Structure 1
Amino acid sequence: MSIQNHTVSRSSQAARVAAILGALVLLILIAAPWWAGRADMRLMGEIFLYLALASLWNLMAGYAGLVSVGQQAFVGFGGYMLFALTIFGGLHPIFAIGAAGVLGALIAVPMAVLIFRLRGAYFAIGTWVFAEVFRLSFAQMSSLGGGSGSSLPVGIVKSLAASRSGREALSYWLALGIAVVVIAAVYLFLRSRNGLALTAIRDNELAAGSLGIDIWRTKFVVYVVTAGLTTMVGALIFLQKLRISPDAAFSVNDWTAFVIFIVVIGGIGTIEGPIIGTLIFFALRETLADLGTTYLIVLGIVAIVVMLKAPKGVWGLIRARYDLQLFPLSYRVQQKSNKAD
C-alpha cells in the first residue's frame, strides 16, 4: 500500500549542495592572500564590493520597488566620511567605516521623508538630484581637497598594517567580509516577517495595504538600512583607492549605472541574480576593457538583448528551466511517498 505524505519546507537538495559548495568557496577565498597575487586580490576585492552594491540595490528595486539612480550619493558620502573621520576625528579606519555606516543611515532618514513623496520616475530623479547636491557640497569643502580631492595620509594608511602586503590582505578581507555580510543580511531579512511583507508589497502593493501591511514603514526601513550598508561599502571602496574626489566619489556611471546593469542581466528580484550578474559584468570588463568606448557599447547591447530575450535575467532563465533556488525564501509543498504492506 502506498501512503502519500506532504511536507512543507523551504530547503531543497540544490540549496543544501549550494550551501556546502559556498562554504568551501568562502574558505578558499579567505585564504587568497596566501595563494593569489596582488593584482588578483585587488580584482577580487573590487568584485566583492560591486556584489555588495548590486545586492543592496536589488533589495531596494527588486523587492521594495524603490528604483534609485542616486545610490552614488551614499557611496561618495561613505568615502568622504572615511577621510573626514580618520583625518579630523582621529578614528582608526576600520572604526571609521562603521561610523560612516551609522551616519549614512541617519542622513537617509530625512532624505526618505522627502523623496518618498515621489513616485515612479519622479522618485528616481529625486534620488539623482540628492546625489548631485552631495557632489556639489563636497566639492566646496576645501578641507577635504575641494574639487580636486585629496589622498589619505600615509600615517593613516600605515595604521592598518605595518607592511604593504598586510594592508592589501586586510583590505581584501574587509571587502570579502562586507559582501558576505550584505548577502547574509538580505537573505535573513527576506526570510523574516518583514521580508514576507516586502514580497507582498512587490507582488501587489494595493493588496498588501488592504491586508494591514504598513507599506511606508516597510519601504522606509529598507531604504535606511540599504543606505547605511551602501555607505559602508563606499568607505571600503575609497579605503582601497586611498584617494577621493567629488567626480570619482559621486560617479553615476561607476556606482549606479554599472550596478543596475549587473542586477538586470543577472536577475532582478532574486538573491542569486546579482551574484551571476557581477561575474558576467567583470568577465566582460576584463575581456573588453582594452576596446575603449566600444566596451561600453557592448555592455549596452548585452543589456538590451538580455532585457528582450530574458526579462527576468540569466538566473530567471536557469530557474525556469531547472526549478533551482539556491537561496530558498518561500515554503514549498513536497510529496513524500512511503510504502507499507
Structure 2
Amino acid sequence: MADNVSTSWSVSTRTRGSLVSILLILAVVAFASATPLFAPRAVIQDLFSILTMLVLAQCWNLLAGYAGLVSVGQQAFVGFGAYAMFGGVSLLGMDPMAAIVLGGLAALALSIPTAFFVFRLQGAYFAIGTWVIAEIVRLSLAQWKALGGGTGTSLPAGAARDMVGVRFVADLLGVRGPQATDIVCYWLALLLAMLTIGSIYKLLRSKQGLGLAAVRDNREAARSVGVDPLWTKSFVYLVAALATGLTGALIYVQKARISPDAAFSVPDWTAYVIFIVVIGGIGTIEGPIVGVIVFYILQNLLADYGSWYLLILGLIGILIMLFAPRGLWGLFTDRTGIQLFPVRRILAGRPKIKTNEGVPDG
C-alpha cells in the first residue's frame, strides 16, 4: 500500500488569514477614498502627510529591508523631483498634474548616474556616498536663479487651483479652491500609496523577489544560482527613486513653496523615514504602515516639547531596537502569526494515492 502513496508538493504564500486580510484592506481603502466627503480640511491635510510619508517609508524599506541598500540620501530624489515639478509649472507652463509625472521621471533620470557611483561602494561607504550626492544636488539647485536660488520660490498664483480635477471637485463637493486642491492632492497621495504597496507586494511574490532576498542575504550564493546582484539592486534603486520623486513633487504641489533647505532636508525626508521603518518593522510591508501611524501620534503628542521631541523619538527608536529588533509589527506577528501581506513561501505537501487501474496483475 505504501508504494501506492506519493506526495504532491506546492509552494504558496497564502495564510489562513489571507481572505480576511484582503477584505480588511479593501474596507480601509474604501473608507479612505470616501474620507474627503465628510472630513474637515485639517484632517485631509494630516492624512495627506501620513500617506506621503508612508510612500517614502515603503521605498526606503524596499531598499534597506529587501535589497540591503541602506541609503541616507533619499532626500536627493524628493528635492530633485520637487524642483523638476516647479520648473515644469513655473518655466514651462505645465499643469501641476503633468509636472508631478515630470518630477518622478527627473528623479529616475538622476538615479541612473547616481547608481553608477554609489554601487561601487559597500556598507557604510554606500550610505555616506548617497548623502554626499544629495548634498551635491542640493548645492547645485541652490544656484538655479530662475527658481529662487538659495531662498526658494512659490508656484505661480492659482497654479495649484487650476490643476486638472480641482474645479470639478470644488463644484461636486461645494468647497473652495484651496480645499479642493487639498482633496485632489490627498486622492493622488492615496493612489500613489496603493500603487507603491501593491507593486512592492507583487515584486516580492515574484521570482525577482526571491532573487532580491537572495542578493540581500548572500551576494555570492545568489550569483551562483544565476541571480545578477548588480541588475537586481539597480532595478530596485531606480524604482524607489521614481516613486520617491513622484512623492516629492506631489508634496510640494500641496505646499506650493520650495527652498533647497526644505526640499533636501535630511530630518524630514530621511531621518524620520528611517525612524518609521525601524519602529514599525524593517523588511515587512506592514511595518512602515504601523510605523507611520505611531510616528504621527508621537509627533502630535510631543510637538510642544521643542528639542526634547527629537530626543524622545531617538530614545523610543533605541528601545524598540533593543527589545523588539524586528519592530512593532514583527513583535505582533511573532505572537499572533497574523500577516496582512504574506510574502514568505510555505512548502505544503498533500498525499496522493495511486490506483492500479489499467495495470495487469502478475
Smaller-chain TM-score bracket:
over 0.9
Aligned partner (choices 42, 46, 53) of residue 45 of structure 2: 42
Please tell me whether residue 274 in structure 1 is matched to residue 288 in structure 2.
yes
Please tell me whether residue 122 in structure 1 is matched to residue 125 in structure 2.
yes
Aligned partner (choices 248, 261, 266) of residue 234 of structure 1: 248
3-state SS of the aligned residue for 2:99?
Answer: helix
Report how far residue 126 of structure 1 moved. Answer: 0.5
3-state SS of the aligned residue for 1:12?
Answer: coil
Matched-pair identity in %: 49
Q: Please list every run of 5 or more consecutive structure 1 residues that lacks an aligned counterpart in the other structure.
A: none
Q: In the alignment, which residue of structure 2 is the partner of 1:52?
A: 55
Residues 80 and 106 in structure 2, CA contact (< 8 A), matched pair in contact too: no
Aligned amino acid, residue 167 of structure 1? T
* Counterpart-to-counterpart distance in 2, 1:114 and 1:7: 42
- Across the aligned residues of Structure 1 and Structure 2, the Cα RMSD in angstroms comes to 1.7
* Counterpart-to-counterpart distance in 1, 2:161 and 2:137: 29
Report how far residue 138 of structure 1 moved. Answer: 1.1
The structure in which a higher percent of residues are helix is 1
3-state SS of the aligned residue for 1:297?
Answer: helix
* Counterpart-to-counterpart distance in 1, 2:314 and 2:294: 13
Report how far residue 334 of structure 1 moved. Answer: 4.7
TM-score by length of 1: 0.95
Residues 134-213 of structure 1 correspond to what in structure 2 (within 5 A)? 134-160=137-163, 161-162=166-167, 163-213=177-227
3-state SS of the aligned residue for 2:320?
Answer: helix
3-state SS of the aligned residue for 1:147?
Answer: coil
Q: In the alignment, which residue of structure 2 is the partner of 1:74?
A: 77
Report how far residue 103 of structure 1 moved. Answer: 1.8
Aligned partner (choices 312, 326, 334) of residue 298 of structure 1: 312
Report how far residue 139 of structure 1 moved. Answer: 0.9
Please give the per-residue CA displacement for 1:260-299, whole angstroms capped at 9, x wherever unaligned. 0000111111111111111111111011111111111110
Aligned amino acid, residue 191 of structure 1? R
Aligned partner (choices 113, 116, 134) of residue 116 of structure 2: 113
Q: In the alignment, which residue of structure 2 is the partner of 1:30?
A: 33
Q: In the alignment, which residue of structure 2 is the partner of 1:220?
A: 234
Please give the per-residue CA displacement for 1:100-148, whole angstroms capped at 9, x wherever unaligned. 2112111211110111101111110100001101111111111101111
Report how far residue 335 of structure 1 moved. Answer: 7.0
* Counterpart-to-counterpart distance in 2, 1:336 and 1:216: 38
* Counterpart-to-counterpart distance in 2, 1:41 and 1:166: 10
Aligned amino acid, residue 148 of structure 1? T
Aligned amino acid, residue 234 of structure 1? G
* Counterpart-to-counterpart distance in 2, 1:9 and 1:267: 23
Q: In the alignment, which residue of structure 1 is the partner of 2:277?
A: 263
Report how far residue 9 of structure 1 moved. Answer: 2.6
Please give the per-residue CA displacement for 1:231-288, whole angstroms capped at 9, x wherever unaligned. 0000011111110000000000000000000001111111111111111111110111
Aligned amino acid, residue 76 of structure 2? A
Aligned partner (choices 86, 92, 95) of residue 92 of structure 1: 95
Report how far residue 333 of structure 1 moved. Answer: 3.4
Structure 1 residues 336 and 17, CA gap change in structure 2 (3 angstroms)? farther
Aligned amino acid, residue 227 of structure 1? A
Report how far residue 5 of structure 1 moved. Answer: 8.2
TM-score by length of 2: 0.89
Residues 181 and 254 in structure 2, CA contact (< 8 A), matched pair in contact too: no
Aligned amino acid, residue 105 of structure 1? L
Report how far residue 337 of structure 1 moved. Answer: 10
Please give the per-residue CA displacement for 1:24-66, whole angstroms capped at 9, x wherever unaligned. 1111111111111111000000000000000000000111111
Q: In the alignment, which residue of structure 1 is the partner of 2:347?
A: 333
Q: Which moved more, 1:102-111 or 1:259-268?
A: 102-111
* Counterpart-to-counterpart distance in 2, 1:190 and 1:70: 24
Structure 1 residues 296 and 337, CA gap change in structure 2 (3 angstroms)? farther
* Counterpart-to-counterpart distance in 2, 1:252 and 1:214: 32
Q: In the alignment, which residue of structure 2 is the partner of 1:101?
A: 104
* Counterpart-to-counterpart distance in 2, 1:335 and 1:142: 66
* Counterpart-to-counterpart distance in 1, 2:147 and 2:216: 41
Q: Please list every run of 5 or more consecutive structure 2 residues that lacks an aligned counterpart in the other structure.
A: 168-176, 353-362
Report how far residue 6 of structure 1 moved. Answer: 6.8
